[in-house]
Amino acid sequence: MKTRIGIAGITGRMGRLLAEAVPASGAVLAGGIGRDGDLAALAVESDVIIDFTTAATTACHARSLAGAATPWVLGTTGLTSDDEAEVNVASARIPVFAAANFAPGVNLVLAIAERLGAALPAESHDAEILEMHHRQKIDAPSGTAIALGRAIAQGRGVDLDSVIESGRHGATGARKPGAIGFAALRGGQIVGSHSAIFTAATEQITITHHALDRRIFADGAVRAALWLAGKPPGRYGMRDLLGL
Ligand SMILES: NC(=O)C1=CN([C@@H]2O[C@H](COP(=O)(O)OP(=O)(O)OC[C@H]3O[C@@H](n4cnc5c(N)ncnc54)[C@H](OP(=O)(O)O)[C@@H]3O)[C@@H](O)[C@H]2O)C=CC1
Ligand SMILES: O=C(O)C1=N[C@H](C(=O)O)C[C@H](O)C1
């Protein structure tokens, strides 16, 4: 039996590419909805839902898909901690695959960032994250930038929330020791670029990922959906899929 995949956000930049990527993978496109669609009805017709919409609707989607017992691949970014809590509640009832970035290469960069965070002393090597996206993007810093920050913080054995310096402006005072800084640039049609930069007095190390085509995200999300169907309830991510 072919896997039936439904798409929440099918009218969007990602959704339109997912509508091509699903049949190209051999799966069946069960249907798709924009903001006015009925997710519960789509879930009944689907073995798995891929969701690239907006954070404002994530909590509602979590409850709807948990109620329908339909596995959920979530690519939406900009989630609040309350949204994250709703996703975790849903993952007790359904398999949930959530990733801020479905490009396999980015997830290798995340793994390297964690190792650099562990290896380079926070006292000497200042960590900054730079992300650039298209002018339509509505959340900042990007989900991937936050994931990079979390990876570095994890390597350093600290909580990102306790060291984050984001959106500097005005009389900021000097950089705090051990801070992880963020800068978000917006313009044109940049698909998504992320750098983690470690700057010391005598050296600078930069790792960068440029997404050149959104198909890298769509193909990754479809791969995740095919992998997720049939898994037990729980929260999964790219590390599970890629075996990192
Ligand atoms: N994890 C990853 O690898 C990636 C994540 N993303 C994230 O995916 C999300 C979507 O990105 P993108 O496709 O560029 O965005 P778009 O704005 O192009 O598309 C958004 C989609 O969500 C729908 N939508 C908007 N508001 C609501 C609502 N209140 N309820 C239900 N559906 C709604 C829109 O429907 P309508 O047309 O009817 O308004 C549209 O189909 C973003 O959060 C983005 O950051 C993007 C790329 C990669
Ligand atoms: O909104 C986008 O376009 C993207 N969003 C994701 C993010 O916030 O990290 C992934 C990718 O960078 C494109």
ipTM value for the complex = 0.99
- Tell whether ligand 2 has an atom less than 6 A from the beta carbon of residue 142: yes
Q: What are phi and psi of 72, to 5 degrees?
A: -135, 120
- The reply, when asked if residue 26 is annotated as ligand binding, is no
Q: Which atom of ligand 1 is nearest to the CA of 9?
A: 41
Which residues are the active-site residues?
A: 133, 137
Q: How many residues does the chain have?
A: 244
Percent of the chain residues past pLDDT 90, beyond the cut: 98
CA-proximal residue: ligand 2, atom 4 (nearest): 192
Question: Considering the chain, what is the average pLDDT of its residues?
Answer: 98
Every domain of the chain and the residues it spans:
4-102+214-242, 104-211
- Tell whether ligand 1 has an atom less than 6 A from the beta carbon of residue 141: no
Q: 62: buried, middle or exposed (CB in 10 Å: 19+, 13-18, 0-12)? A: buried
Structural tokens at position 200: 């010391």
Reported as a single tens digit per residue, the pLDDT across 16-54 is 999 999 999 999 999 999 999 999 999 999 999 999 999
Cα 49 to Cα 159: distance, rounded to the nearest angstrom: 32
| pLDDT attached to residue 244 | 86
CATH C-level class of 4-102+214-242: alpha beta
If you measure from the C-alpha of residue 204 to the centroid of ligand 2, how many angstroms do you get, rounded to a whole number? 26
Q: Which atom of ligand 1 is nearest to the CA of 75?
A: 1
Q: Which fold has domain 104-211?
A: Dihydrodipicolinate Reductase; domain 2 (3.30.360)
| pLDDT attached to residue 126 | 98
Mean pLDDT of 172-197: 98
Reported as a single tens digit per residue, the pLDDT across 140-175 is 999 999 999 999 999 999 999 999 999 899 999 999
Evaluate if pTM is beyond 0.95: yes
